[in-house]
Structure 1
Amino acid sequence: ATLLHLHAVHPSGPVLVVGASEKQRGMTMQQLRPNLTAEELPVEVTSLVTTNDRAHLYATSRAVFVTTRILVVDFLTGRLKPANVSGMVVCNAHKVTELSGEGFAARLFREG
């Protein structure tokens, strides 16, 4: 939560948060809500968010909770350029392997 708060104060591109459980997303939002405006809070990207809306959210430089599948698709299609991303937070990284979706997304980000 502290990292996302610091980013909200000095944004330079979206910070992507992948692999967060519903509980982790909720706890993070609960910690951030007292200190940030609604426009500074992280947004959640799920399959319900259209591709155009995702592109707009990425351009706002906010922190974004995003599913691994959507992030990989957006990287591969060029909807989101890794060079435009400030950083990536991989929740539960101790469970990530080179062959997992999160591992693949991190590799695309690093190599982008």
Structure 2
Amino acid sequence: MGIETGIGIIIGVFLIWVGYIVRKKGIYSLLPGFFWITWEPVNSEKLGNRIGTLLIILGVLAILTAIFTIWFGAVVGKISAILALIDGIMIFIVIALDQMGR
């Protein structure tokens, strides 16, 4: 287990922890400070659940990438980078859809 695998696992666990906090305490307490914006969500509970789930998926993806890169090499990194980009885009889409619900 190299240093890269350890860093990937630490980042994955951090993202899972942040996703758990967002799901339990709501999106309003964490996300505006995360993205340096000021806005008020329409439905904080639903938005928190959705973004928390997406952050947990991103954390699991980071852990799986760190583990599977050992056996399969750089191909796994490219695939997971595309999946992480899609997940990040989905987070912004969920925020935009919440703001359209006003």
Q: Quick check: which one's strand share is greater? A: 1
Which protein has the bigger helix share?
Answer: 2
Greater Rg over alpha carbons, structure: 2
Report the TM-score when normalising by structure 2. 0.26
TM-score by length of 1: 0.25
